[in-house]
Each structure stands twice: as structure tokens, then as C-alpha cells.
Amino acid sequence: MRSQASVLHLDLDAFFAAVEQRDKPSLRGKPVVVGGVGGRGVVATASYEARVHGVRSAMSTREARSRCPHAAFLSGRFHAYREASRVVMGLLREVSPLVEPLSLDEAFVDLERADLPDLEVPTVTDFAQDLRRRVHEATDGLTASVGLATSKLVAKIASDLDKPDGLVVVAPGTELELLRPMRATIIPGVGPATAQRLRRAGIVTVADLEAAGLDELVRLLGRAHGGGLHQMARGRDDRAVVAEREAKSVSVEGTYDTDLSDLRLIEGLLARQAGEVAARLRAAGLSGRTVSIKVRFHDFTTLSRSMTLASPTDHGPTVARSARALLAELVAGPDTGPQVRAGVRLLGVGVSGLADWVQEDLFADTEADDEAEDEELPEPPRARHLGAWAPGMDVEHAELGRGWVWGAGRGVVTVRFETRETPAGPVRSFPDDDPALTPWSPTEPAEDDAVSGPA
DNA sequence: TCTGGGGTCCTAGGACCC
DNA sequence: TCTGGGGTCCTAGGACCC
């Protein structure tokens, strides 16, 4: 924790709705709701005029319509939101090189890196007011609420205290008297489930949290969360403002207005999502090894299945093939098969375990050179390492799973497989626990990034 | 016709490795 | 040879955030 209030948190007010009101004068002063407008949509942002009628984020659009029928319901123009966000983040980076965006409408700014004569309360207060004015100007009328404090925790809480269009500076040394009377749910990370567990233990306010022992919190919430809250409740938060955060996963999902039960249609939708995910990976210069699907049934129970490939991919057909294979496993499952056929409301595809293409290539070159030098073939790896014969691999690759054997060198594996036709397409199984395996000549060219390594 | 979409982080168990 | 302990990877699910 710092000795001066040099962490700034800025939050644009009712952001999506405010952009709509800015761009469409007829909406100004009127209730505006941005979110899903379909039968199963939820509210992303409600303007303050709509909030008066009880409309809230994450509420179903159906509920919002009944509470505020005269509101304008809009599905959102994300290009406009991204553009407004870009302007604001650019402005923040002008005042400090250390800006950490949390979403399109929110960021931390480290004032220790800003050009200020000092970091005393009057100075940072004037600075923040000037910043809010500049945001208003640069965005053609959007308002921002700002919190200033000695830590991220308190700055974020502070920015919310005088919304909209507010500024709250928490003077160093006064953090605990601010936090103690507040509900524990004020602390980011304490959601409904955590709040309920705490309540059952008689913990409602931050003061209660502070009085609870570390052991008790860890017992209630686990090591990481319990330990974190024990610190936060004392106003202790040393998290740094971090400018660059690397993406860890890329995913696409969709909820359908009516439940899907046609397996061909489900497969087709998954394949399309796989293509979108791959395109976004390529656009970001990323690739990943783990492909996941997500399926939500009519009763809202949600399953996920994932598989890790032998090497990273950003290839649409490879992601699609993996997704189809994971779906086929669900369809073949004695419990999950009937669930799928009974109706699916959400489908999703994601890729995680991301690697940077450029780094991957450099790494591969180095490794190839090393290999040429010492002329030593890798030890035949053990079968359990083989990502190369994962279910869903196409026939050529299953027969000759050439490629990287993760963590153990390269080899050629010959695998017997059996194919069974199902309504969702062919499902393969691999009767041999221990596929035959021989070392692979490193000079042999790779054909497909599905199974070939980064060589 | 309750309950979005895109993420992050954590937990826990099993397999495996040293 | 037997036993045990860590560490890592993988998978599934859950909580949470905006």
C-alpha cells in the first residue's frame, strides 16, 4: 500500500447507454437499455433514466421491458463503444504511461508515473477533476466517475461512491474508517456465493471480515480467496498497476432463442463458432493448444469438455474438428447424450493455452538447429504423451500421427482405430492402449499444423 | 419462455515425473 | 525394492467481473 493517493480508477458512467444518447439526441433524457433484445437477452447497460424504474445490468430484457416499457431497447453498436473507449484510454495514456484497462469503460492509472509536482491530496484532486473534464471533451460529452486512493481496492470502491459524474479522493490513512462499516460485498471478488458463506458465519460487514481470523476465512473460502480477503479487509492491497496483460483464452458462445436438438445443426453451429475463434486468434497473432466446448441444456445445467492438442493451432478446421469430437463424446455419453438430444440452449467454443506465433517460430528454429548439431534422435516417448491420436483427429493423422510428442521429443505413432457412425458423425475409438511408436526423422516435412510441431 | 457474452482465477483430483 | 513428497500438466466445474 502506498503512502499517497496515487492510484486512480476511472469508470465511464452507464457507458453503452451514454454512447447511444450521445449519438442519438432523441434518446437524451430518456430511458435507454442496451443488451440482448431477443427472447433470452439480458441488460448490459441501463441509462440512469431507466435505472429509476428498477432496470439493472444482468436483468433479463423481458423483466426490463415489464419494468420500463417505454424505454428504448437497443442491441448495441460495439464499434462505437470500442471507438469511444479507444479515445478515453488514449487520453489516459497521455497523462501516465501506466494505464491498466479492465474493460472498455474502466481503467486504473498509476499517478506515480504521471507528470505531477507532488502526490498530495489537493494536487491529485485537481488533476482528477481536470482529467474528468478532458474525458468529457474528448468523447463529446461522456461523463466519468473517478476514485483516488492508496490502492487499487480503495480507488475502485471510491469511484463508485459518487456516481455518476463524481470524484472521491480517499485521503491516506482514512481507508479503514471508510471500509469498516461497508458490506463485505463492496470488495471486488465477494459475489453472491461468497457473501452467503460469509453471512452464515456471521460476517456481513468489512469490520466483521477484519475481525475474522485468517484460519477461519481460509476454511470458509479456500487459501487464495480467504487469504486475499483477510488482507483486503485490513485495507492491505499491494497489487501493482499493470499495463500489458496477455490474453489467456479466446472464445465464442451463443444462446439460441429456442433450444436446439438437431445434432447436425448443433455441429454446424459449433463449426462456425470454431471458425470465428480461429479467425480471432489469427487476427491477434495467437494460437492455442487446448480446445474447449461449452454446452448449456434447457434446464441451464452447463457442461464443458476440453482437449489439448499436440501443438498450438489457429486453424479453423482443426478447432472445428476438435470441437466436433468433444461434442461426439457428449452425444455418446450415457447421461449427456440424452441431455443433448433433449435440447441445448447455449453452445460455445474456446481455445486456451495460448502461445505467441512469433515466439513459437523462433523457438522452433532454435530447437531445429540444436537437433542438427547433436544428431541425436529423441528417445521414443511413452504412449501417454501422445496428443497425436486424440479422438477426433482425422484418418490420415490418426493412422500416422506425426508431430510433436509434447515434452518428450518427436516420433511417428501408428494407431489402430475404429470408426462408428453416429447421428453426430463418425466417432472414433482407439482400442490399443499402447500404440506402436518409432522415432521420426526430423528432416521429414510437416503437412498440417493440426499435429505437426512448430518445426 | 427467468437467467448474455467474453473473460479471469481458483480448486481438486488424477496421472506422471523426479 | 519400497515409500514418500513435490511439482507439473490436464480436465471439469464454479465463482466472479464488466
Residue ranges per domain, chain A? 1-170, 180-232, 249-357, 360-439
Distance, angstroms, CA A408 to C1' C8? 14
**Residue A144, beta-bridge partner list:** A12
Q: What pTM value is reported for the model?
A: 0.80
What's the CATH superfamily of A1-170? Reverse transcriptase/Diguanylate cyclase domain (3.30.70.270)
A403: cell is 508431430
Helices (H), A375-430: 395-399
Asked if the peptide bond before residue A164 counts as cis, ω within 30 degrees of 0, the response is: yes
Instruction: State the Cα–Cα distance between residues A301 and A421, nearest whole angstrom.
Output: 27
* Domain A249-357 grouped into CATH 3.30.1490.100: yes
> Is A432 annotated for ligand binding?
no
Q: Which nucleotides of B are covered by protein (CB under 7 A)?
A: 1-12, 15-17
In chain A, residues 396 through 435 whose Cβ sits under 7 angstroms from any atom of nucleic acid strand B? none
Sequence-distant (6+) residues with CB within 8 A of A117 are A123
pLDDT in tens, chain A (455 residues): 899 999 999 999 999 999 999 999 999 999 999 999 999 999 999 999 999 999 999 999 999 999 999 999 999 999 999 999 999 999 999 999 999 999 999 999 999 999 999 999 999 999 999 999 999 999 999 999 999 999 999 999 999 999 999 999 999 999 999 999 999 999 999 999 999 999 999 999 999 999 999 999 999 999 999 999 999 999 999 999 999 899 999 999 999 999 999 999 999 999 999 999 999 999 999 999 999 999 999 999 999 999 999 999 999 999 999 999 999 999 999 999 999 999 999 999 999 999 875 433 444 444 443 333 332 333 333 332 333 443 333 333 333 333 333 222 333 444 444 445 555 544 444 444 444 443 333 323 233 333 333 22
A191: Cβ under 7 Å from strand B? no
The one-letter code for the residue type at A320 is: A
Fold of A180-232: DNA polymerase; domain 1 (1.10.150)
E-strand ranges in A344-394 read 344-356
Q: In 3D, which of A225, A220, A231 has the Cα closest to residue A197? A: A220
Quickly count helices (H) and strands (E) in chain A.
16, 17
Q: Is the CB of A313 under 7 A from strand C?
A: no
Q: Are A189 and A225 spatial neighbours (Cβ–Cβ below 8 Å)?
A: yes
The catalytic position among A20, A49, A100, A106 is A106
Residues forming beta bridges with residue A101, ordered by sequence position:
A107
Mean residue pLDDT across chain A: 84
**CA atoms of A12 and A136, how far apart (whole Å):** 10
Instruction: Decide: CB of A103 under 7 A of nucleic strand C.
Output: yes
The grid coordinates listed for A370 are 540444436
Degrees (nearest 5) of the Cα angle A251, A283, A388? 65
Would residue A360 show up in a list of annotated catalytic residues for this protein? no
Q: Give the residue ranges of DSSP H helices in A38-105.
A: 48-51, 61-67, 78-95
Return the nearest residue to B12, CA–C1'. Answer: A222
